[in-house]
Amino acid sequence: MDHIQEFSNNISLGGVILFTLGAIFLVGLVAHELGKRTGIPRVTILLLTGALASPNALDLVPPIMHSWFPFVSQIALCMVGFLLGEQFVYRTLMKSGKVVWAITVSESLGAALVVFTVLYLLDVPIVVAILLAGIAPASAPAATIDVVKETHVSGDLPKVLLRVVAIDDFFGILIFALCISIVEFLGGTSNFYDELLHSFWEIGGAVLIGCVIGWPMAKLTGRLSKGEPLLIEALGFVLLTGGIAELSGSSYLLASIVLGAMVANFASHHQRPFHAIEGISTPLLIIFFLMAGFQFDITQLHTIGFIGGAYILARSFGLIMGGYIGANLGGADPVVKKYIGWCLLPQAGVALGLALMATEKYPEYSSEILSLLVGTTVIFELFGPVITRFSLINARKYQSSVKQHD
């Protein structure tokens, strides 16, 4: 035993970290190949692998790696936000903007209203029903963009999907703030307007930061050629934007999206910085998804129960019907109407973050909210990308059959 203790004491921390990172990247490679052969999204494989390696299962990961998750997730989501911003080119939005906004508003409200109605009818405490309704519209932009890239599906559906997911958080924050304000009002407290003002700053501050930093980035990008200087410049601006947004209390994801939109609209060679960031985002996203899996406690699945099942069905129905109604109101193509709602099912860390905010304000309901959200988030994050992938591939087949008939 003394020899084992002495050996463990002499293990280099740096060596452990290097070994773990190497193993993570190789697991990412295996997940990519396995995904191509099985049709299971890489995201789902990485999340499952992370869950199996977590302390709640096989406990294969050094404890120090768990402390990295908030830092890695912020960097990864800043890059995801920047890449999503490329979808917001003014000329393109003039063509599809009505569709995108109609779908986003409709699916967000649909998820919130259906979840509240179902839970209220099941005699869930009204405060819990309102808070869960506020969390329901939250999506998983990182998982969605990864599935879209992995499937290589082109056409209206993936374009609309990426734009909807990009501004989904905008409405998610507003709806959550409104739900918090309603709970405050019902409780007789005086924080109704404070909560709304805080949420408006979270959104407005992010837009302001993204615009202020995005303008010089757009102008500088056109003066740099491809290669290392452009990569350094792009990474510097993206991380600077995320850091300032986080320090100011606004949404770093939304700020990064606005930054990307500024570059997409005002840079003379706007595709270069997006290619640069996309090239280095893949390894970070592999770490991000595996670490997200580390946070899962598969043993919590038994806590879902009847109410959790009702939440899953209600959120799914609200998103699918809301997406369909919004696509009809916006005059979207038939393939978008048919599949957009199904592509919006993934739900991840944003929902858990909102749940933690809710339980901090209302600790008396923490066990009910967290026990349900942890289990249902595992379900949505594992199976949501599978449904998104299936819908995108079916949409491609649908478009091909329509072209053949034409």
Distance CA 199, CA 197 (A): 5
| 50-66 residue pLDDT tens | 878 877 777 777 777 77
Distance CA 346, CA 290 (A): 16
The alpha carbon of residue 215 and the mean position of all alpha carbons in its chain are separated, in whole angstroms, by 26
Between the alpha carbon of residue 283 and those of residues 28, 42, 47, 91, the distances in Å are 8, 13, 15, 32
17 occurs within a structural domain: no
How many other C-beta atoms are found inside a 10 Å radius of the C-beta of residue 164?
Answer: 28
11 occurs within a structural domain: no
| DSSP track, 157-200 | HHHHHHHHHHHHHHHHHHHHHHHHHHHHHHTT-S-HHHHHHHHH
184 occurs within a structural domain: yes
For the chain, state the CA radius of gyration.
22
172 occurs within a structural domain: yes
| CATH number of the domain bearing residue 345 | 1.20.1530.20
How many other C-beta atoms are found inside a 10 Å radius of the C-beta of residue 104?
Answer: 26
Q: Shortest CA distance to 344 belongs to which of 314, 323, 325?
A: 323
Q: Shortest CA distance to 139 belongs to which of 186, 184, 81?
A: 81
Contact 320/384 with Cβ under 8 angstroms? no
12 occurs within a structural domain: no
379 occurs within a structural domain: yes
Distance CA 163, CA 141 (A): 10
Q: How many domains, in total, are found in the chain?
A: 1
| Predicted local distance difference test score (pLDDT) of residue 55 | 76
- Domain containing 291 equals 25-35+37-405
| Predicted local distance difference test score (pLDDT) of residue 3 | 45
Residue ranges in the chain whose pLDDT is less than 70? 1-13, 39, 92-96, 187-196, 222-229, 269-270, 295-304, 349, 352-353, 356-357, 360, 400-406
Between the alpha carbon of residue 160 and those of residues 146, 330, 340, the distances in Å are 15, 11, 8
* H-state helical runs in 54-191: 63-66, 69-85, 90-121, 126-135, 141-151, 156-186
State pTM to two decimals: 0.71
